[in-house]
Structure 1
Amino acid sequence: MQFSYANPTQIFFGQGQISSITQPLPNDAKVLVIYGGGSIKRNGVYDQVTKTLADYEWYEFSGVEPNPTKETLDKAVAIVKEKSIDFILAVGGGSVIDGSKYVAAASHYDGDGWDILTGQYQVSSAVSLGAILTLPATGSESNMGAVITKAETHTKLAFLSPFVQPKFAVLDPDVMKTLPEKQLLNGIVDAWVHVCEQYLTSQHGAMVQDGYAETLLKTLKSLGDSFDQRDNDQWRANLMWSANQALNGLIGSGVPQDWATHMIGHEMTALWGVDHARSLAIVQPSLLRHQIEAKRAKLEQMGINVFGLQHSTDLAEKTIDAIEQFYASMNVDTQFSDYESTKAQAVDAVVTQLSEHGMTKLGEHQQIGLEESRQILEQAIA
């Protein structure tokens, strides 16, 4: 257990905190507000931002999609360069914040921003960034990661850079009041799998990381079980904080991490537009069953400490069943059927994408090659 951990993002958590952004925001900042489809104008967030930025020179860019595309984001990059923007304020969920990270990094690069995603360019500086979270799920508001899609080629890739870590993030649970039920469910699933990717690996003896991961899983399970109470301040606050803590770097410090479910799920999103969280729920149970021997000890630990199951010879199997039943209780599918053509062609399409993107050794032990991914997809695709 050796690691270096720092999370410099200042969190403003609670109701009415949007006005707090003037504390860390430089007085002379020239700000670009980036947001998505306009829901912030219906839920009052846009008005709060406008009021807070009254004394600043600021501009806005809207239209960032779920699974943000390079093609859209490059238009924002052009604005940053043209207007000499020196601070980006991302107002939205993980897609808007991820997209803003791309804009922040690409704006300090003279070449094609996609080079950042392919690794041809290593980010060495970026426009400063802050976030106002409107949809709890990804934890992007206080980490250094982003996932971007190139629509032209149906390619979805990720990058990490400390230079795009948000300087601050506002987490006001009130903004969740107008979210559709499906997005709240996606938030639970997304955060759940984020924790699992850092927890369901191998025994390592890092008791704090394991214990905290289990607390987050039990919290998310409780929120899913009490979904009928979602119109409740406490319920909203607990989901927003859980989703943040699931991927702020702490529970993954010094321990093995998997992320194969994400890599395979990304390809399904890129090919068919599957909601990110839904792709994870589709892939994860099949992947866990395929990798059950490598993960048996941690699955058994999860079964006992998270689901309250009893010791048995098939405890790991029962734990996977319990995960699948949890998704089913929220009406979240664990098999994918919305593909065109045949199942064989659908499986081939994902495997081809994995191969083209170099995703040929996945998992905490790099044990999931293309053939293993194919076997997982054979079970995950109906």
Structure 2
Amino acid sequence: MNSFTFYNPTQLVFGKDSIEKLPAMINQFTSGTKVLITYGGGSIKRTGLYDRVIGLLEGFEVFELEGIEPNPRLSTVKKGVQLVKDNNIDFILAIGGGSVIDGTKLISAASTIDEDPWKIVTREVTPTAAVPFGTILTIAATGSEMNSGSVITNWETNEKLGWGSPLVFPKFSLLNPEVTYTLPKNQTVNGIVDSMSHLLEQYFNEADNSAVGDAMIAGVMKAIMKAGLAVQDEPENYEARETLMIGATVALNGFMRMGYNGDWATHNIEHAVSAVHDIAHGAGLAVLFPAWMTYVSGKSPERFAQFAEDVFDVDASLPQEEKVKAGIAGITDYWKAIGAPSSLSEFDIPESDFEVFADKTLFNGPFGNFYKLNKEDVIEIYKLAH
């Protein structure tokens, strides 16, 4: 294992009564009264969550930023920064999934500088302060509710980049699985794929010994898969929603990567696609991860065979090649079974775009910690996914 220091200061408040604790949680982190709420396309108004939150914020002066996109855009972040600066906002509350939270993280940090927020994303500027913020999670997917990472899309340049800072851990996150009952099926499916992909990125890692991580990842992935099947027919199955929500959180809050970094090449490959075609991140991962696994498995078949044993209980006595195929088929078949897409052609993405995508992935040179990819590798993965 690599040497590491674990740090996660986010207070996670989980359960059916979690949202009612909102006023007390905010008061822990500010003595001010000006709160900016950020959210997406308005589903929180249709479900009643918006009215519930506004009622709880009685006594605070509330400002709003509506319309943070599924792939949060720099232009929308800039609107939020201006709101914070113009109104001397004391606290920000993100209500939504990973996109809303990711956008809010950049608003939080960029509101303390006089530079273009994009310079934080490109690491030209390092923030030294951030406006405190919390979250009310509405989608089990990204884990952004309990980590310090964020992904932002610059639609003007068709770039989608990740960044992070210890300053943008949420102060608290309120998780009530009941609020996910009304999610459209495709959003639930994309969330399942996203959380499983985070686990896959970390299972295929650069360490010589990740035995504890392997065991945790396999256990969480099995739990997510079982719950993911349950909500297909029972969207209001509380126990299954509970499992999906906590599963997505622990998949990317640092617990699963103590002693290694994981690979993360597939996320880079997907970001290049959705920066141009604006498809849902989970949908892109459902297509691209099996392609990456197929392409890379021949470079380290023993690891993929171990994956099949750990996650799909494949018979250890089988030939290695059969185990490798069984593991990849297990992921592919499961995602198809819950209704995830399986090819780039389903999004009308032409092969002529592959070189453009590949160039975007290589802005820092060859990438991937488990297996390094160059341009030719990336193009072949896109072909396999088509």
Normalised by the size of structure 1, how large is the TM-score?
Answer: 0.95
- Which residue of structure 2 aligns with residue 322 of structure 1? 330
Q: What does residue 270 of structure 2 align with?
A: 265
Partner of 2:204: 200
Q: 1:202 Cα shift?
A: 5.1
Alignment of 1:241-256 (within 5 A): 241-256=246-261
- Structural mapping, 1:113-152, within 5 Å: 113-152=117-156
One-letter amino acid of the structure 2 residue matched with residue 14 of structure 1: G
Matched, 1:82 2:86: yes
Q: Summarize deviations over 1:135-171 as a string: whole Å, max 9, x none.
A: 1100001100000001111110111101011000000
Q: Which residue of 1 aligns with 2:8?
A: 7
Find the partner of 2:188 among 179, 184, 191: 184
2:355 corresponds to 1:348: yes
Give 1:295 deviation, angstroms: 3.7
> Are the equivalent residues in 2 in contact too, given 1:199–1:210 (CA < 8 A)?
yes
Tell me what 1:372 maps to.
Answer: 377
2:59 maps to 1:55: yes
Q: Measure, in 1, the Cα distance between the counterparts of 2:253 and 2:302.
A: 25
Choose 108-117 or 23-32, whichever is displaced more. Answer: 23-32
Report if the CA contact (8 A) 1:340-1:346 is conserved: no
Query: Which letter does structure 1 place at the counterpart of 2:341?
Result: D
Aligned-partner Cα distance in 2 for 1:192–1:183: 14
| Residues 1:304 and 2:313 aligned together | no
Indicate if the aligned counterparts of 2:130 and 2:168 stay in contact, CA closer than 8 A.
yes
C-alpha distance in 1 between matches for 2:371 and 2:346: 29
CA-atom RMSD in angstroms: 1.6
Q: Is the 8 A contact 1:204 1:255 kept in 2?
A: no
> Structure 1 residues 155, 202: CA separation in 2 closer, same or farther (over 3 Å shift)?
closer
Distance 1:305 1:129 in 2: 38
Amino acid corresponding to residue 38 of structure 2 in structure 1: I
Query: CA, structure 1 residues 295+47, in 2 after alignment: closer, same or farther (shift >3 Å)?
Result: farther
Q: Deviations over 1:312-371 (max 9, x none)?
A: 22111221111111111112122111566842x12122113224x33x322114611111
Look up the SS of the partner of 1:32 in the other structure.
Answer: strand
Structure 1 segment 284-295 matched on structure 2, within 5 A: 284-295=289-300
Structure 1 residue 122: Cα displacement: 1.1
SS class of match (2:344): coil
Conserved 8 A contact 2:207-2:260: no
- Residue in 2 that maps onto 1:279: 284
SS at match of 2:4: coil
Instruction: Assess if the C-alpha contact under 8 Å between 2:138 and 2:179 holds in 1.
Output: yes
SS in 1 for 2:94: strand
Unaligned runs of 5+ in 2: none
1:98–1:179 Cα change, 3 Å: same
Letter of the 2:331 counterpart: I
Alpha carbons 1:203, 1:298 under 8 Å: kept: no
The one-letter code matched in structure 1 to 2:161 is: L
The residue that corresponds to 1:363 in the other structure is 368
Distance, in Å, in 2 between the alignment partners of 1:161 and 1:255 is: 19
- Which amino acid letter does the alignment assign opposite residue 331 of structure 1? G
Number of paired residues?
Answer: 378
Counterpart AA for 1:323? I
Deviates more, 1:202-211 or 1:127-136: 202-211
Shift of 1:173: 0.7
Relative distance call for 1:12 and 1:346 in structure 2 (3 A) is same
Alignment gaps of 5+ in structure 1: none
The equivalent residue for 1:19 is 20
Shift, 1:293, TM fit: 3.4
Matched position secondary structure for 1:75? helix
Mapped to 1, the partners of 2:330 and 2:68 lie a distance apart of: 36
| Matched letter for residue 129 of structure 1 | F
State the Cα distance separating 1:219 from its structure 2 match.
Answer: 0.8
Greater shift in the superposed pair: 330-339 or 53-62: 330-339
The residue aligned with 1:238 is 243
Give the aligned residue type for 1:5.
F
Q: Structure 2 counterpart of 1:71, which letter?
A: S
User: Please, which moves more after superposition, 309-318 or 21-30?
Assistant: 21-30
Alpha-carbon displacement from aligned partner over 1:94-124 (angstroms, at most 9, x marks no partner): 0000000010011011011100111111121
Q: CA offsets per residue over residues 239-285 of structure 1, 9 Å max, x none?
A: 11101110001101212410001000011111111210011111111
TM-score by length of 2: 0.94
Encode CA deviations 1:46-80: one digit per residue, 9 max, x unaligned: 11211111011221111111101001110111010
